[in-house]
Structures are given as structure tokens and as C-alpha cells.
Amino acid sequence: MSAPTPPLTGTTGAPATVPPFDQVAVRVAPGPDLVVRMPGVLLVVGVTTQPSGPAAPAARPALVGWGSAPVPPAPAAAPAGDAHVGELVALCRRLSAAGSRAPGRRLHEELRTWLGTVTEPPSFAVAAATEDGLTLVLVGGGSAEVPDLGLRLTPAQGEKLDNGTLVLDRFVTWPPAPLHLSAGSPADTAPHPLADLEAGAVPGAAAVLSPAPAPSAAAPAPSGTMQVRLPAPHARVPLSTAKPPARPVPAAPAGAPAGHDHAGHASAGHDHAGHDSAGHAHAAPAPLAAPAPAVDPAPVAPPPAPVELPAPERSSLLFGAAAEAEPARQPLPTPGQEPAPAAAEPEDERPTVKGILCKNGHLNDPRAGFCALCGIRTTQQTAVVVEGVRPPLGLLVFDDGATVSLDMDYLLGREPETDERVVSGRVRPLLVLDQTGGVSRHHAEIRLEGWDVLLVDVGSANGTLVAPRGAPGWSSLVPHQPIRLTPGTAVRMGGRQFAFESQHGGY
């Protein structure tokens, strides 16, 4: 992957707001290439044409009242059937149909793999939505530019693959101006301003993706809690918010025409309101001969009276005022009197499960033949199922060496603390930081049901991959369908990975 590029930002320097990708208008410039739009993906791919050979005019039936049949025109050039163009469109449709609102990062990986298997790929430019912007992939004559900002990207700024293909792939923020995608064919006509390709495939030379809409400036609805925005730590705050009194403007001398200065020269491009030809307001100069009228000085407030401090005390208590009187205590119980009932102990809210106790009193899974703590056979006892507090069911061992004990349900993600289940205390948050940005805010959930540890993808943008111990490769989870984790199972979320280890079970 190429080196990261500075993000495209607006005039204020802050990243532009990213709207839903499918709600932004796309205009198409007429041309011979192919423009394909699908949920989360916009593709412009070059299509080669080949002239059709001469064909004999087909016999046409005579139509009464329509006159003689015209001479058929010469056959025009038709698009050539390129198998690689079909493979590229099918790849984009497959990832778009997966149901993710932001397929950009997954499409970026799939295109890198596909380009390594194609010797002569077609020229194309693709833009796909990510969780925080766009991913751009340019090959051949493909280009992506923002003319209003003077920005342009081409494959020459990227890298060369092992098969000699130049490719540029970058993650960028949403530009605050129209984004033009082209596969290399010139656009003879500008896109129609009323055109909007919502979905489908149409011929065209370029596609123009509209900028993000400006955030609404409507005032927030009043609420019962007052919200105050504090200044930045190093911001300069004026000492007083009172405005200084307005300085009176002296009147122009009688007889001086409007729009002329005291010397009689016309002030070209300036009106009496104090605006220049560019429309910028400025302070009108005062006449030199007219003296400013005298202004009464503001009354000066008398200085405050000095505050008299009390005389120093000769002695005082070191620890403040005198101690308050101790409240009366209850009398001691007399011999033979029944003591007051003791306060009830708080109820144990830890989850309980049914299991088998070993001879040392350790609770184990009924399906296990050995104790998970001391290793002796659980069949040495009577093997009667009893109910007790559930012990931790295993560990999550992350790729950076961190371990998490599984004693309750967890929600994994980039911002798990914002979920309602975490706020209510039903699920414990587990923060997973990923430098590649592949982990969603709420990515996956670890559930403990009985003696089983379940993994559920809660609808992440990039999916969750699992590989049980001994599996030849990764398999993707179906969102919202739990699977049972077995000891040694590896789990991958974006660029992070962890393994599930447990001494319970092993079956």
C-alpha cells in the first residue's frame, strides 16, 4: 500500500462531514466508457471499441402509408467484450451486495488481490465509502481530481505491482468540492446539472460525485439542562465583554458634494457608505478642516472604600471550631435480653450454573472428565449435578500480549462504551484499538451461556473472521448469528487478532 497522503480538508482545515454515500448525487458526462453505481461503490471503467464489419442490409417488410424504406446506415463501432471488465464489475457488485454501508476497506483488499492475477487490467477509477471517508483505487488511465481545489491523483503517483501494473490506492477524507472520476477518455460534453445516477450502469466518460452537504446551522432544541461551551485552554479571553462607546463621526462640511473628499477629488469606486469596488467595508476618512466636537469625559467612579481587616488574634484553635457534641448512644443490652437481629447480607448476584464438584470442591462443566483447576477426575465423587457460582470460562489472548478473563459478557469495538447495554451495566466494554481503522464502534460480542462461550458479530462494517484450531483458513461470521468458541480458536477483527483459550471442556 502506498504512503498515507494528507487528508482533503475544507477551507477551515477541519475534515469535511461524510454523509451517507448513497444519498450524494452523481452526474455522468457522456462518453464511451462505463459508469457503474451501486450501494457504497462508484466505478468508472474504460471500455474498448471495435468497428463492426460490413453487413448486408436486412430485408424490411413494406409498411403501407409509410413510404419507401430508407437505406440502412453503416454499422457503428460497438464495445468489445472484455472479460476483465466483467470480472471487475462482478467483484464490486459482490462486495456491495454484502450489506455493508462502508465496503471501501474490504474492496481495497479485494482489488489488490485481483490486480495481482490480471496481466492487462482495464483502466478504471473507483471510489468507495469507508467509515470516515473514501478509498480511491486508480489503474491505467484512471484519475481522480477535485478541480475546485487543484487536486489530482493518477496511478503514476502510486506503486508498481509485481506484474508491472501501476496502481494508486489511498484512503482520503471526503472533499468539500465535486470529485471527478475518469478512466482516461476525454469528456466532450459536461454533465447535465439535473442528471443524477442513483444506481445502475450507463455509458459515460466521467462521473462527478457531489460534495458533502453543509451541516445544518439550526439552533438546538431547548432542554432542561444548560450546556455551556468552555474556551480552549490557550484561547485568549477578553477581560470585559462591554463594548467601548462609539466614537462620533464628524459631519461633512456643507457644500461638499457626496462622493468627493475635501480636496474636491472624486473617490472612484467608493460610495458614502464606506464600501470599495470589491465590496469590502472600510472606515470613511474624516474631513481635515472640520474639527471634532468636544466630548464630555465619562464620569469617574469614586475609588472603593478601604477594607478594614480584623486585628490579629492572640490565640486560636489549630483545627478550626470546637468539636460538636457527640450524639447520645444506645444503651448496652441487659443480660438475658435477646439481641437485635443482624442485618441481612447482600445477595450474591454472580451468575450460577449446574456442574459437578471434584473432591476438592471445584465446580466443573458436566461434560468434562477432569477438573479444570486441580486436574483430578471428576468421577471420583458421586458425579451429582449441583448448582454453584460459575467460574471464569477462559481467556482472550490478544496479539499485543493483553489477556482478558471471561467472567461476564463483553462488547468489543472502537467505542463500546456508547452502547446502551454497556451504559445499563448488562455488558462490560472491551476497547480494541486498530491503527488500520478496520474495527467498528460496536464490532462483536462475547456471550457466556451456561458453560459455553459464544461469539456474535453485531453488524460490523468489515466483518469478523474466525479460524478454529487446525482449520486451513479463515471463515467469515454471519452477522447476528452466534457461534460457540472452542479452545484455540483465532478471531480476527480488522487489523487486530486474538485467541480463545480455556481449560474447561476441550471437547
Number of domains in the chain: 3
Same domain, 358 and 470: no
* Cell numbers linked to 257: 458634494
**Cα gap 356→375, rounded to integer Å:** 13
User: How many percent of the chain have pLDDT more than 70?
Assistant: 63
On the CB side of 426, CA atoms within 13 Å amount to 6
If you average pLDDT over every residue of the chain, what do you get?
Answer: 75
Contact by Cβ (8 Å): 214, 177: no
Give a yes or no: residue 57 inside a domain. Answer: no
Report the alpha-carbon distance of residue 27 to residue 192 in Å, rounded: 7
What CATH number does the domain containing 449 carry?
Answer: 2.60.200.20
Please compute the mean of the pLDDT values over residues 104-121 and round it to a whole number.
Answer: 88
**112 with 152, same domain?**
yes
Please report whether residue 474 resides in a domain. Answer: yes
Quick one: 359 and 432 in the same domain? no
Domain extent, residue 383, equals 352-389
**Residue scoring higher pLDDT (11 or 283):** 283
Per-residue confidence at 270, pLDDT binned at 50, 70, 90?
very low
Q: What residue type is assigned to position 230 of the chain?
A: L
Residues 3-49 pLDDT 10s = 444 444 333 333 333 346 888 899 999 998 999 999 989 999 998 76
Q: Does residue 284 belong to any structural domain of this protein?
A: no
* 2 domain-assigned: no
Record the pTM: 0.40
Read off the pLDDT of residues 222-268 as tens digits, 9 standing for 90 and up: 444 444 444 444 344 444 444 445 555 455 444 444 444 444 444 44
| pLDDT score at 276 | 47
What does each C-alpha distance from 306 to 209, 299, 309, 445, 497 come to in angstroms? 71, 21, 9, 68, 71
Q: Are residues 35 and 132 in the same domain?
A: yes
* CA separation for the pair 115, 88 (Å, rounded): 10
Indicate if 83 and 202 belong to the same structural domain. Answer: yes
Residue 359 has what pLDDT? Answer: 78
Please spell the DSSP secondary structure of 388-446, one letter per residue: EEPPP--EEEETTS-EEE-SS-EEEESSGGGSHHHHHTSSEEEE---TTS-S-SS-EEE
Are 373 and 420 members of one domain? no
Residues 95 and 127 in one domain: yes
Domain endpoint, select from 178, 209, 240: 209
Q: Which of 173, 192, 209 is the last residue of a domain?
A: 209
In a domain, 204, yes or no: yes
Cell 489477556 -> residue? 403
Same domain? 360 vs 433:
no
Residue 102 amino acid letter: A
Q: Are residues 435 and 409 in the same domain?
A: yes
Q: What is the pLDDT of residue 188?
A: 77
Q: List, in sequence order, every residue forming a beta bridge with 249; answer none if it has no partner.
A: none
- Picking from 191, 209, 227, the residue at the C-terminal end of a domain is 209
> In this structure, what C-alpha cell is assigned to residue 146?
477535485
Within a domain: 225 = no
Residues 451 and 362 in one domain: no
What's the DSSP call for residue 367? T
| Interval 397-408: pLDDT, tens | 999 999 999 989
Query: Is residue 296 assigned to a domain?
Result: no
For residue 18, what pLDDT is reported?
39
In a domain, 103, yes or no: yes
Determine contact, residues 102/129, Cβ cutoff 8 Å.
yes
Q: Do 184 and 131 share a structural domain?
A: yes
Claim to verify: residue 178 and residue 119 sit in the same structural domain = yes
The CA–CA distances, whole Å, from 226 to 217, 222, 223, 233, 369 equal 19, 9, 7, 21, 61
pLDDT on residue 6: 41
* pLDDT top residue among 454 and 334: 454
DSSP secondary structure letter of residue 156: G
What is the C-alpha to C-alpha distance for residues 503 and 32, in angstroms, rounded to an integer? Answer: 64
Which residues, in sequence order, are bridge partners of residue 491? 466, 498
Handedness of CA 156, 158, 159, 163 (dihedral sign): negative
